[in-house]
Amino acid sequence: MVTFTSHSPEETQVLGEEWGRHANGGLVIGLSGDLGAGKTQLVKGLARGLDFTGRVYSPSFGLVNVYSGGRFSIFHLDLYRLETAEQIFAAGLDEYLEPAGVSVIEWVERWFDPASLGAALPRGLLPRLYRSVRLETISESVRRIQYEDFGS
C-alpha cells in the first residue's frame, strides 16, 4: 500500500493527474473517505491527466457523470445516496465494473469492501484493473491518501 500526504486540494489534483497520465482502459478506482476528504478533487486531477478539459463535479444527484473527449471516457459514480449493494445492482451500475474507459466510484464501501475486492460481488463482475483508495482528513488542509492496486 502506498501512502501520499496532500497539503492542499491542488496537491490532491496533481496526484490524480499523475494517475490519469498512466491509466489504461478498464481501470476501476474505488474511493472511500468522509465528506470533504478530497474524492472529487482527485477525480478532477485524474480527468486532467486523461486530457479531459471540461468541468468535473460530483454526480451526487444523478449517480453517474460521463466525461468524454479525453484519452478515455471517464465514468464518475457517486454512491452516497444509495445504501445497499442491492440498490446499486438495481440501479444497473454493475456495468461500470468493466468500463470501456475508466470508472471512478465515490463511496465504494457502500457497494463492496474496497480492501477485500470481490467479497460482495458476483463472480464475473470483478474489475480487471482496480485501485482501492482511502482518503483521510488529517487537518483542514492535510489529507492522507492510501492506495493499492489489484489485478493485471
pLDDT tens profile 73-99: 999 999 998 888 788 888 888 888 888
**Is 94 part of a structural domain of the chain?**
yes
Residue 62 lies in a domain: yes
pLDDT over 80 at 21, yes or no:
yes
Summary count for the chain: helices (H), strands (E)? 3, 7
Task: Confirm whether 58 is domain-assigned.
Answer: yes
38 assigned to some structural domain: yes
Q: Would 114 be classed as within a structural domain?
A: yes
Residue 47 has pLDDT above 90, yes or no: yes
CATH code at position 50: 3.40.50.300
pLDDT at 122: 52
Q: How confident is the model at residue 144 (pLDDT cuts 50, 70, 90)?
A: very high
- What mean pLDDT is predicted for residues 133-138? 96
Average pLDDT over residues 40-54: 96
Q: Does some domain include residue 5?
A: no
Total number of domains constituting the chain: 1
Q: Which three cell numbers stand for residue 5?
A: 500526504
Q: CA-based diameter of the chain, in Å? A: 41
- More confident site: 98 or 146: 146
Residue 64 lies in a domain: yes
Q: Let me know if 64 is exposed, middle or buried by CB neighbors in 10 A (0-12, 13-18, 19+).
A: middle
Mean pLDDT of 110-137: 72
Averaged pLDDT for residues 24-45:
93
Q: What was the pLDDT predicted at 110?
A: 83
Asked whether residue 2 is domain-assigned, the answer is no
How many C-beta atoms surround the C-beta of residue 58 within 10 A?
14
User: pLDDT grade, residue 150 (50/70/90)?
Assistant: confident
Owning domain of residue 102: 10-151
